[in-house]
C-alpha cells in the first residue's frame, strides 16, 4: 500500500479533528463511504453547536443492509478541549460499552493527563494513565506512561524532550521502567538550519552500558522550505562510518505541492530505483491524481492510479490497476488521500471512496452578544430547528425571513409582526437535505444574510 512521503518511519499520525484548517478554509467531514476487499464501510460524523465532533458512527454493509459496528461519542470542556472519548461496539442488537478515555487540561489548553479505562462484563477498570508536563512556551517536556497493576499505578515508560532556541524539538529521550528503576532505551537528536528547517535526525540506542549510533535521516530543503531529498543511513559500528540505506527525492510546484517522488535503495555501492510517485493538482490546489510506478528491467512500469473528482460537497475517488494494456478498476485497497487547497484533509485505505464534506469557512459557530448585529442564528450546524435571534431595533417593522439552498431556490419563508414580543424566531427545517444554506432577513429597505449548515 502506498504511503505519503517519505518512506522513512516517522511515527506521525494525522489527527482526526472536527474542523480541518486549509489556509483560510475550514472543511468539515459529514460522511464517508468506502469500499475495501471485505466490502463497503460507512462513517458518519455529528457535531455540536460549536463545530466539535460529538459522535462518530461506523457501519458495514452486510447482506444488503447497513449494520452498526462502532460508535464513539465525545464531550468537551468550555474551552472546547476534548475531555471524554466513549467507545462502544455493536453486538447482536445493542451497543456494548468498550472503553472510555478521559483527559484533563491546564488553562492554556495543554493536555495534562489522559486516563484509559475499559469495560468488562459491564464494570469499568483502569488500564493506562498518561501524564504530561510543558514549558512556558507550551512545548511538551515529558510524557509518563503508567499501567494499572492490581491496586496501583506502575511506571511503564517515559519520554523527556528538550528544545532549542527556536522552540524546535532538540532531543527526545526514551526510557523503560524495569526492576524498579528507569532504563535507557533510545534517544533522538534533531538538527535544524537557522530558520527551523530540518537538517538531520539521528537515533542512538542504549546497548549494555553505552549509547551507540543506529541510524540517521539527512534532509535537504530548497529556499522555500520544501523537502527535496531525504537520505537514510545506518551506522556501521565496526568500521565507525555511516552507510547508505535508502533515499527519496522530490519535486514541487510553485505552490509548494509535491509533484514527484523517486525512492531508491543503496545496493552494491550504487543507487537502484525502487518506486516512483507522480501527483497532479487542479487550479485550486486539490489533489486530482496520484500514480504509482515500479522499477523493473531497467524501466518504469505502471502499478496503480488513484483518480480524485471534486464537486461541491463531495469528493469521489477510485483506485485503478494497470493490467499491462490499460487501467482497470482495482480489486485491492490503496492508500487514498484527500488533499484540498494543498492541505491534507483525510486519508484511509480503500478501493473507492465517497467523501461528503461541508465548507464552513466564515461561519460563526459560537453564541455571542447580538449587539449591533442584525440577527444571530443557532445552532450552526443545525439538524431540526433554526433559532433566529433578531436585533430588537429591527422589531419596529415586520421582518421577512427566507432560507435559500445552494441553487438559489427559496425553501422556507415566514414573516414576523412589528413590535413582536419575542425576538427569537424558530424555523423547522426537518426534511431539508444537508448542505450550505443562506438565511436572509429583510425589514423595510434593509437586508441581512448569514450562511447556515444543515446536517443530518
Q: Would you state the pLDDT for residue 394? A: 60
379 shares a domain with 355: no
Q: State pTM to two decimals.
A: 0.73
Q: Would you state the pLDDT for residue 25? A: 44
When pLDDT is averaged across residues 395-423 and rounded to a whole number, the result is: 74
How far apart are the C-alpha atoms of 453 and 133, rounded to whole Å? 39
Q: Is the pLDDT of residue 426 over 90?
A: no
Q: Would you state the pLDDT for residue 395? A: 58
Are the C-beta atoms of 368 and 419 separated by less than 8 Å?
no
Q: Would you state the pLDDT for residue 361? A: 62
227 shares a domain with 143: yes
pLDDT tens, position by position, 60-76: 999 889 999 999 999 99
Cis before 2 (ω within 30) = no
Q: Would you state the pLDDT for residue 396? A: 58
Q: Would you state the pLDDT for residue 433? A: 85
270 shares a domain with 384: no
Cell 443492509, residue? 65
Residue scoring higher pLDDT (374 or 243): 243
- Reduced to 3 states (helix: H, G, I; strand: E, B; else coil), residue 393 is helix
Q: Would you state the pLDDT for residue 407? A: 67
The tally of domains found in the chain comes to: 2
Q: Would you state the pLDDT for residue 374? A: 65
Q: 366 in a domain, yes or no?
A: no
Handedness of CA 108, 113, 114, 120 (dihedral sign): negative
120 shares a domain with 176: yes
Q: Would you state the pLDDT for residue 12? A: 31
Q: Is the pLDDT of residue 186 over 80?
A: yes
How far apart are the C-alpha atoms of 276 and 273, rounded to whole Å? 8
Residue scoring higher pLDDT (391 or 272): 272
427 shares a domain with 298: no
Q: 3 in a domain, yes or no?
A: no
411 shares a domain with 300: no
How far apart are the C-alpha atoms of 385 and 210, rounded to whole Å? 66
Q: Would you state the pLDDT for residue 297? A: 96
Q: Would you state the pLDDT for residue 373? A: 58
**DSSP code of 432?**
P
Band (pLDDT 50/70/90 cuts) for residue 423 is: low
111 shares a domain with 67: yes
Q: 49 in a domain, yes or no?
A: yes
Q: Would you state the pLDDT for residue 9? A: 37
Q: From start to end of 106-209, where are the E strands?
A: 111-120, 123-134, 140-149, 152-163, 169-178, 181-192, 198-207
Q: 28 in a domain, yes or no?
A: yes
Q: 203 in a domain, yes or no?
A: yes
How far apart are the C-alpha atoms of 47 and 55, rounded to whole Å? 7
Q: Would you state the pLDDT for residue 1? A: 32
Range of 80's domain?
20-359
The percent of residues in the chain predicted with pLDDT above 90, rounded, is 64
Q: 12 in a domain, yes or no?
A: no
Last residue of a domain, one of 359, 388, 409: 359
> What average pLDDT is seen over the chain?
87
Last residue of a domain, one of 333, 359, 385: 359
pLDDT tens, position by position, 315-330: 999 999 999 999 999 9
Burial of 246 (0-12, 13-18, 19+ CB in 10 A): buried
When pLDDT is averaged across residues 339-358 and rounded to a whole number, the result is: 92
Q: Would you state the pLDDT for residue 346? A: 93
Q: Would you state the pLDDT for residue 111? A: 96
What CATH number did the domain enclosing 402 receive? 2.60.40.1930
C-alpha distance across the termini of the chain, in Å:
33
When pLDDT is averaged across residues 223-250 and rounded to a whole number, the result is: 96
330 shares a domain with 208: yes
Q: Would you state the pLDDT for residue 13? A: 26
Last residue of a domain, one of 328, 359, 390: 359
Band (pLDDT 50/70/90 cuts) for residue 82 is: very high
Q: Would you state the pLDDT for residue 212? A: 97
440 shares a domain with 296: no
407 shares a domain with 344: no
Amino acid at each position: 500500500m502506498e504511503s505519503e512521503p517519505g518512506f522513512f518511519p516517522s511515527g506521525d499520525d494525522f489527527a482526526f479533528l472536527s474542523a480541518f484548517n486549509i489556509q483560510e478554509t475550514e472543511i468539515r467531514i459529514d460522511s464517508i463511504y468506502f469500499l475495501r476487499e471485505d466490502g463497503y464501510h460507512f462513517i458518519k460524523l455529528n457535531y455540536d453547536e460549536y463545530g466539535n465532533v460529538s459522535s462518530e458512527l461506523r457501519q458495514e454493509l452486510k447482506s444488503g443492509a447497513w449494520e452498526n459496528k462502532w460508535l464513539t461519542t465525545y464531550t468537551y470542556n468550555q474551552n472546547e478541549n476534548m475531555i471524554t472519548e466513549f467507545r462502544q461496539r455493536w453486538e447482536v442488537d445493542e451497543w456494548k460499552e468498550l472503553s472510555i478515555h478521559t483527559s484533563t487540561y491546564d488553562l492554556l489548553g495543554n493536555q495534562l493527563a489522559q486516563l484509559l479505562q475499559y469495560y468488562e462484563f459491564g464494570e469499568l477498570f483502569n488500564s493506562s494513565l498518561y501524564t504530561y508536563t510543558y514549558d512556558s512556551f507550551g512545548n511538551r517536556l515529558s510524557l509518563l506512561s503508567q499501567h494499572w497493576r492490581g491496586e496501583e499505578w506502575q511506571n511503564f515508560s517515559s519520554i523527556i524532550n528538550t528544545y532549542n532556541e527556536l522552540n524546535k524539538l532538540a532531543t527526545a529521550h526514551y526510557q523503560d521502567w524495569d526492576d524498579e528503576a528507569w532504563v535507557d532505551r533510545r534517544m533522538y537528536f534533531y538538527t535544524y538550519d537557522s530558520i527551523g528547517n530540518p537538517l538531520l535526525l539521528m537515533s542512538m540506542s542504549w546497548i549494555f552500558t553505552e549509547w551507540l549510533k543506529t541510524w540517521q535521516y539527512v534532509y535537504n530543503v530548497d529556499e522555500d522550505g520544501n523537502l527535496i531529498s531525504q537520505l537514510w543511513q545506518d551506522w556501521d559500528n565496526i568500521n565507525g562510518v555511516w552507510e547508505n540505506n535508502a533515499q527519496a527525492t522530490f519535486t514541487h510546484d510553485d505552490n509548494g505541492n509535491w509533484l514527484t517522488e523517486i525512492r531508491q535503495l543503496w545496493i552494491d555501492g550504487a543507487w537502484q530505483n525502487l518506486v516512483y510517485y507522480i501527483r497532479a493538482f487542479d487550479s485550486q490546489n486539490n489533489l486530482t491524481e496520484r500514480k504509482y510506478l515500479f522499477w523493473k528491467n531497467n524501466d518504469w512500469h505502471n502499478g496503480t492510479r488513484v483518480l480524485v473528482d471534486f464537486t461541491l460537497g463531495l469528493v469521489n475517488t477510485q483506485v485503478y490497476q494497470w493490467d499491462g494494456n490499460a487501467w482497470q478498476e482495482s480489486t485491492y485497497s490503496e492508500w487514498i488521500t484527500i488533499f484540498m487547497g494543498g492541505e491534507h484533509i483525510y486519508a484511509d485505505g480503500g478501493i473507492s471512496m465517497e467523501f461528503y464534506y461541508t465548507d464552513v469557512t466564515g461561519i460563526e459557530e459560537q453564541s455571542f452578544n447580538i449587539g449591533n448585529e442584525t440577527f444571530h442564528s443557532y445552532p450552526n450546524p443545525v439538524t431540526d430547528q433554526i433559532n433566529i435571534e433578531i436585533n430588537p431595533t429591527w422589531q419596529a417593522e415586520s421582518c421577512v425571513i427566507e432560507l435559500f439552498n445552494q441553487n438559489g431556490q427559496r425553501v422556507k419563508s415566514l414573516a414576523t409582526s412589528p413590535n413582536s414580543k419575542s425576538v427569537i424566531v424558530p424555523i423547522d427545517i426537518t426534511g431539508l437535505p444537508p448542505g450550505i444554506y443562506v438565511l436572509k432577513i429583510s425589514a423595510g429597505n434593509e437586508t441581512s444574510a448569514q450562511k447556515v449548515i444543515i446536517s443530518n
